[in-house]
Amino acid sequence: MMNKWIERGSNVIMNTYSQFPIVIEKGNGVYLWDSEGKKYLDFVAGIAVNALGYNDPDYVKQISLQLTKLQHCSNLYWMIPSIELSEILVQNSCFDKVFYCNSGAEAVEAAIKLSRKYGKKHHGENCYEIITMKKSFHGRTMATVTATGQTKYQKGFDPLVPGFSYVEFNNFDDLEEAVSEKTCAIIIEPIQGEGGIHPAEKSYLKKVRSLCDNNDIVLIFDEVQCGIGRTGQLFAYQLFNIKPDVVSLAKGLGGGFPIGAMLAVQSKADAFQPGDHASTFGGNQLACTAGKVVLNKLLNKGILENVQNQGKYLKEKLIKLKDKYDTITDVRGHGLILGIELDCSVKDIVVECMNKGLLILGAGENVIRFVPPLIIGKNEIDKGLEILEGVIQHIQK
């Protein structure tokens, strides 16, 4: 039956993903089941999305309840769930205002547009350039794929959007040299996700903050992947203790419901006026209800603490694995956004783990990324790493 689904899917779904040959049908906690009933331990979480895992009773209840009231109404009117979610975001961050959209790319796109408006308003028409980092990932729309500092995602889509330049990540001299009076924004992932789990250095971010302050440049943190509890703090910037002017969020914010958000401090948020930016579904009632449940649980039910504890435990275990197997050359990351670098392609390891009931994720050619649901426990980490070690042992032979 599974093959039948795959055949039907291949006939009608555009060929952009090179899917693994399994059909995922349902989930519970940190486990998923395929259409033939095989169970998988999930260290992928929909690529850092399912913060609360699957089937969380509060999540199901609150969204179901909202569905019986109202599923959508336009931003022409005020909506209660989006007001409430914004209050939680603002009260627990350094930001003052929220703009909602539906995905990470749209959140970054909104940040790019806000920065350009701010630059032009305060520093003239030529202040529109945005500096981004090599190895970064910011999305697949034309502006965000341009912002992405990896040519492999841009091939075939030129001409790209003008006004972007790329510098070495964690290299302050390179960045300082690239800044000019045309620079309106610098965009950084505090932990590069798709690029291979590369955390920023705190001292680097501190210098970047001063550079932006001295030149009135908008500092954007793209926390689409590393935000919303992933590092053990609600926002990744809190881990580094460096406050950006703007942040982009998505993925974990809805815990599986599509939502994106761009948050800004007041002085930057003021650059947007009615009509400057919009999204039909932005701030949708169901999406914002999902966001409320996720944030309430992260903040009040010990989930951030769980990320800190389990993240530490997982990292320690990964370091032990590295000490044991030469093929592992590095362990990186914070909280539950961790990666191990190998001296070989990780593709076969990912497939073999899947066959043995563990879903893990690559990040580039030779990095395995760990972004499990934030509710994961010690036993599940032990179980997952037992499978992974078995596969690595086999491959190293």
Ligand X SMILES: Cc1ncc(COP(=O)(O)O)c(C=O)c1O
CB-based contact 370:300 (threshold 8 Å): no
- Angstrom CA distances, 388 to 195, 353, 368, 380, stand at 22, 6, 10, 12
Q: Residue 313 corresponds to which tokens in the numbers above?
A: 């435990």
From 149-157, 200-208, 218-226, 264-272, give the range in contact with ligand X by CB under 6 A: 218-226
Q: Which secondary-structure segment (H or E) carries 305?
A: helix 303-324
Helical packing angle, 285-300 and 303-324, nearest 10°: 70
The least distance separating ligand X from the CB of residue 123, rounded to whole angstroms, comes to 26
CB-based contact 49:104 (threshold 8 Å): no
CA distance 100 to 287: 10
The least distance separating ligand X from the CB of residue 106, rounded to whole angstroms, comes to 7
Does position 105 bind ligand X by CB under 6 A? yes
The least distance separating ligand X from the CB of residue 248, rounded to whole angstroms, comes to 7
Does position 193 bind ligand X by CB under 6 A? yes
The least distance separating ligand X from the CB of residue 133, rounded to whole angstroms, comes to 11
Q: Which of 56, 109, 129, 194 binds ligand X (CB under 6 A)?
A: 194
Cα dihedral 321, 326, 327, 332, rounded to 10, equals 50
Q: Which of 42, 56, 222, 245 binds ligand X (CB under 6 A)?
A: 222
Q: How many residues bind ligand X (CB under 6 A)?
A: 14
The least distance separating ligand X from the CB of residue 39, rounded to whole angstroms, comes to 26
* Region of residue 247 (phi > 0: left; psi between -120 and 50: alpha; otherwise: beta): beta
CB-based contact 215:149 (threshold 8 Å): no
When the beta carbons of 79 and 337 are compared against ligand X, the nearer one is 337
The least distance separating ligand X from the CB of residue 247, rounded to whole angstroms, comes to 11
Does position 225 bind ligand X by CB under 6 A? yes
Q: Which of 44, 143, 224, 337 binds ligand X (CB under 6 A)?
A: 224
Hey, which residues does 221 pair with through a beta bridge? 188, 247
Does position 138 bind ligand X by CB under 6 A? yes
The least distance separating ligand X from the CB of residue 141, rounded to whole angstroms, comes to 8
Neighbouring CB atoms inside 10 A of 162's CB total: 8
Q: Residue 81 corresponds to which tokens in the numbers above?
A: 């769930």
Going by C-alpha positions, the residue among 18, 1, 51, 38 that lies closest to residue 227 is 51
Helix, coil or strand: residue 267:
helix
Q: Which of 139, 255, 283, 384 binds ligand X (CB under 6 A)?
A: 139
From 188-196, 286-294, 323-331, 380-388, give the range in contact with ligand X by CB under 6 A: 188-196
The least distance separating ligand X from the CB of residue 385, rounded to whole angstroms, comes to 24
Residue closest to ligand X, measured at CB: 104
When the beta carbons of 140 and 383 are compared against ligand X, the nearer one is 140
CB-based contact 159:103 (threshold 8 Å): no
CA dihedral sign of residues 297, 300, 301, 302: positive
When the beta carbons of 98 and 108 are compared against ligand X, the nearer one is 108
The least distance separating ligand X from the CB of residue 71, rounded to whole angstroms, comes to 21
Q: x/- contact string, 242-281, with ligand X (CB under 6 A)?
A: --------x-------------------------------
Residue numbers of the site for ligand X (CB under 6 A)?
103-105, 108, 137-139, 189, 193-194, 222, 224-225, 250
